[in-house]
Amino acid sequence: MWFTKMKTLPKSRVPYAYVDEYGEKHPYTHADVTDPVRQWLVRKEYSVTEQDVPFAMIINLKATKQLGKHINLALFVNKILDYTPDYQRNGLMIHRSVSPYFGMEANLKF
């Protein structure tokens, strides 16, 4: 079970540096604001966004049987029951789907 909430903090619209095509870092100066290529590095607007993801819950099951002193057999079934509601973000519907799966494991002690 988990809850998720994220909020982005305000950031500067103007970068403090940029990396050129050769991988070298250069400071972003006032002259770069009017440069035909580097002017696009300045963000036009910025707003603080807050994103919430609704509560989700998944139930798993694991059963273990000890056979003698040296063998443990376990059967597990994950995601038997789940509650993952749909929610909207940026005008889109987010659908979280989970698929149950199962398996078996054997632990041998020597």
User: What pLDDT does 106 receive?
Assistant: 95
50: three-class secondary structure by DSSP: strand
Q: pLDDT of the chain along its 110 residues, tens only?
A: 456 777 777 777 888 899 989 999 999 998 888 888 888 888 877 666 777 888 888 999 999 999 999 999 999 999 999 888 898 888 899 998 888 999 999 999 98
Who's near 97: CB < 8 A, 6+ residues apart? 84
Q: Which two tokens stand for residue 9?
A: 């903090």
| Structure confidence at residue 39 (pLDDT) | 87
Residue type, 24: E
